[in-house]
Amino acid sequence: MANSGLQILGFTLALLGWIALVASTIMPQWKMSSYAGDNIITAQAVYMGLWMNCVYQSTGQIQCKVYDSILALGASLQATRALMVVGIVVGVLAVGISSVGMKCTKCGGDDKVKKSRIAMGGGITFILAGLCALIGASWYGNQIVRDFYNPLTPVNTKYEFGSAIFVNWAGAALILIGGGMLSCSCPKKNGYPRSYPKSKPRSNATSNKEFV
């Protein structure tokens, strides 16, 4: 059964990872314009996120525009948005479950075995949230790589990884590590030594028959 220090460390890492997921979901820097090849225009930089795209001018001006239509977006972008939202919602649920099951809290009663099982459930929920975010970011990153190396893609429309993807990967890693630590709270099946039934003493009559 995990001690309270391990649970607090796992919960802290998972919570920091969840905050990173929220930040990366809001950030517009999921992919940025590439300057590879003959694309030497550096007067402006184009960033595209899950919800909007932004243009950074060399003068310091920033112009952002929210996507007008959801159905007009690509399949990878829509899937990534859905996975990130699911990961954040599942992360909120994991925070609540873990808070109840941790030893340092008074919620959930005084039954240590019951609280350990609840904490283990919170850790597993955190792992599910981290997997959702990791799959979403990896899917989106794979699409960026495919478009970049596609010879039919114009040079001026090629993009590279933005900072939001790296923040997402770091947050997903923290959630998986923290959720794994909380999952170590699984109680043992038998916390007490096994008891055996006492053998009945043999009667004197039976003992005397053995000597006849």
| pLDDT score at 205 | 47
Which domain covers residue 111, as residue numbers?
4-28+71-187
**Contact criterion met (CB below 8 Å) for 171 and 20:** yes
Chain centroid to Cα 170, Å, comes to 10
Q: Does residue 47 lie within any of the structural domains?
A: no
**Contact criterion met (CB below 8 Å) for 108 and 96:** no
Lowest-confidence pick of 74-78, 121-125, 128-132: 74-78
* pLDDT (mean) for 137-149: 90
| pLDDT score at 70 | 78
167 pLDDT more than 70: yes
Task: Report the domain count for the chain.
Answer: 1
Q: Does residue 99 lie within any of the structural domains?
A: yes
| pLDDT score at 91 | 94
| pLDDT score at 85 | 94
Q: Does residue 57 lie within any of the structural domains?
A: no
Q: How far apart are CA 64 and CA 52, in angstroms?
A: 7
Percent of the chain with pLDDT over 90: 33
Averaged confidence pLDDT in the chain: 81
CATH code, 114: 1.20.140.150
2 pLDDT more than 90: no
Q: Does residue 166 lie within any of the structural domains?
A: yes
* pLDDT (mean) for 166-175: 95
Q: Does residue 169 lie within any of the structural domains?
A: yes
pLDDT per residue over 45-87, tens digit each?
Answer: 888 889 988 888 777 788 888 888 877 788 888 899 999 999 9
* pLDDT (mean) for 87-91: 95
**Contact criterion met (CB below 8 Å) for 71 and 55:** no
Q: Does residue 76 lie within any of the structural domains?
A: yes
Residues in contact with 209: Cβ distance below 8 Å, sequence separation at least 6, in sequence order: none
pLDDT per residue over 188-208, tens digit each?
Answer: 555 444 444 555 555 554 444
Q: Does residue 88 lie within any of the structural domains?
A: yes
Percent of the chain with pLDDT over 70: 78
- Tokens found for residue 16: 């920091």
pLDDT per residue over 94-110, tens digit each?
Answer: 999 988 877 777 765 66
Which of 136-163 are b and which e, b meaning 16 or more Cβ less than 10 Å from the residue's Cβ?
bbbebbebbeebeeeeeeeeeebbebbe
Lowest-confidence pick of 31-35, 92-96, 118-122, 164-168: 31-35
